[in-house]
Amino acid sequence: MKSIKWPKHSILLIAIIATWIKTAITYHTSFEIDIENGMQEFILILNPLSFLLFAYGISLFFNSPKIRNSYLVFVSLLLSIVLYANVAFYRFYNDFITLPVLFQTDNVGQLGSSISEIVNWYDFLFFIDVVILIIAMIFIPKMEVKVAIRKNVRRAYFVVALAITFLNLGLAETERPQLLTRSFDREILVKNIGTYSYHLYDFYIQSKSSAQRALADGSELVEIDNYVQANQATVNEEMFGKYAGRNVIVVQLESLQNFVINNDMNGEVVTPFLNSLTKDKDTYYFSDFYHQTGLGKTSDAEFVVENSLFGLGRGAVFFTHGGNTYNSMAESLGNNGYFTNVMHSNNDSFWNRDMMYDSLNIDKFYDINSYTVNDENSVNWGLKDIPFFEQSVELMTEMPQPFYSRLITLTNHYPFNLEEEDQMIPEYTSNSGTLNRYFQTVRYLDESIKVLFEELKEKGLYENSIIVMYGDHYGISENHNKAMSMYLEKDEITAYDSALLQSVPLFIHIPGSGDGKEVTETAGQIDLRPTILHLLGIDTTNDMQLGADLFSDEHEEFVIFRDGRFVTDELVYAGETCYERTTGEETDMAACQPYIDRAQVELDYSDKIINGDLLRFYDEKTGNLIKNAVH
């Protein structure tokens, strides 16, 4: 029987094809990549090939078959790890991993039960190409003799690789002009240049942003300051300083979206206490308010509210720029006699909070060591919200007044597990266990807020306080759109629907005010800093902030998302499509273009401030650059 004569570079060919096919299948099974036409489908299938040709092609420079094969296995394993890391990350964040996230390893150990929700038994299939390659090396006859690869073979190979790369980039640029200048939209990058090339580009962007701080001299602030001053909203004279001297209690409500407010689940009321606040005479309820977070999620919400700047499009500011100079809300309140603190029953190093809170000039962090935490009062990520609020109010009684406390809840956190004794309503019934459990943890969160109000009244802290509560980010990602469409009784969740589902509740509760109401004006987290400071009579004229006072007559109904989407009172821009807000129908892109341009400008300005650490050159008291900052 004649043995099969295998081509000289069969192993290389098998490595390329196996990884290519696996990657293409992964795109369609593990990521929610929106494909609008046949060309985008072709680009999606093509884009891994150009990178793989170069990555595996380097083996052609090795004459030894043993070294060549070892290199191919190493690259195959490395690329499998990279791809699987993106898959696991996407399951949790509905996004692709970035270089700064790789340095956030301190958080991994505390993911706890979330990891068991992310990892599946069949995930070994993401390494199937490595197995195929090793089997091929065993069964395909080895070339024992060292064979020098001819230069013309290598040259022809890499000419083909370059041709495919340029074809990929050319088609991508045709489908998505200015592709590489809009790096905040990772899905578009992956869709057009592929996961592996995206990571090379991500490395370039990270290196560029790191260099920005070293080269910055403050001159960039002149243009930014002119923009900020030109777009400032005047204060509402009636509201400015109306509640000066009151304590400020800001509650960040984990994963709470607006769709549960004044709504029910199979006849069960989900948020009875918060529902009552929407009609309360002392509460302003903002029903068209949006989170503006990115990959930093909870920490991004903290950052946006404290600084009235956007988080970064890549990674979390708390990690990448924790040592920057900021002009935070806490700093402004501290300069006006407030004792500033954050209350969160987690380790002080989680999300790099210990370093970041110093940069935000927060006087004290009441971390896990300030609380009594045990197995009985904990679930999922840590201390349950009811005992957290009870213990937090007790700690407030010992604080000098006026104080500013920002409290961060935990229980309503993915994967939304809750012990039976704390379940006040049954699970929902859909194909998504995540959504099913979400309603139960939201119900528990609602009950905990009721306890917070009761404790504040009992301890005598209620009447002289302003209580601000907002959802920090979405709880139900687009991975659960099928279940969400069932709950919302829609045929499907479109890009338009997804944008509007980023709405989170905002409550500004002012005991004794008597003029509370529902506010339907479109607004976002970036507006909270000036709003709170103005209620207390603290001027922000010179502050480098991009938000506007929610009570100002000049507040514009325009909310920018970190990924470039936006919502106004008339338009929604999502999925690279312009929609009429009221009907959800597609409309001419010309209507959205001015807002798209402005969104890009504001995101870029915010990035420049953070990446260049530009506020170290700025004196917020005078509104001027620090002398000798520009050179």
| Residues belonging to the active site | 298
Consecutive H or E run containing 131: helix 128-139
Residue 426 corresponds to which tokens in the numbers above?
Answer: 């049954």
Q: 486 exposed, middle or buried (CB, 10 Å; 0-12, 13-18, 19+)?
A: middle
- Asked if residue 65 has a cis previous peptide bond (ω within 30° of 0), the answer is no
Tokens of 234: 């005047």
Question: Residue 30 contacts by C-beta under 8 Å, 6 or more apart in sequence?
Answer: 87, 90, 91
For the purposes of burial, counting CB atoms within 10 Å of the CB of 401, is it exposed (0-12), middle (13-18) or buried (19 or more)? middle
489 phi-psi bin (left φ>0, alpha ψ -120 to 50, beta other): left
Q: Cβ neighbours of residue 207 under 8 Å, at least 6 residues apart? A: none
With tokens 């560029």, the residue in question is 208
What is the rounded CA–CA span in Å between residue 2 and residue 106?
58
At 482 the three-state DSSP class reads helix
Rounded to the nearest angstrom, the gap between the alpha carbon of residue 493 and the centroid of all alpha carbons in its chain is: 20
Residue whose token pair is 């296995």: 73
Give CA torsion, residues 72, 77, 82, 87, to 10 deg: 130
The token pair that represents 352 in the structure block: 């790099």
User: 202: part of which helix (H) or strand (E)?
Assistant: helix 195-215
Q: Which candidate, 542, 545, 389, places its Cα nearest to that of 454?
A: 389
Six-digit token pair at 171? 């088609």
3-class secondary-structure state, position 286? strand
> What 3-state DSSP class applies to 399?
coil
Distance between CA atoms of residues 101 and 105, nearest Å:
8
What does 51-108 look like in DSSP terms, one character per residue? HHHHHHHGGGG---HHHHHHHHHHHHHHHHHHHHHHHHHHHHHSS---HHHHT-GGGG
CA atoms within 13 A on the CB side of 80: 23
The dihedral sign for the CA sequence 85, 90, 95, 100:
negative
CB 547 within 8 A of CB 530: yes
Q: What is the spatial distance between Cα 132 and Cα 122, in angstroms, rounded to a whole number?
A: 17
Tokens for 521, please give them. 């004006």
What's at 461, amino acid-wise?
L
Task: Give the span between the Cα atoms of 442 and 304, in whole angstroms.
Answer: 23
Counts of helices then strands in the chain (DSSP H, E): 21, 20
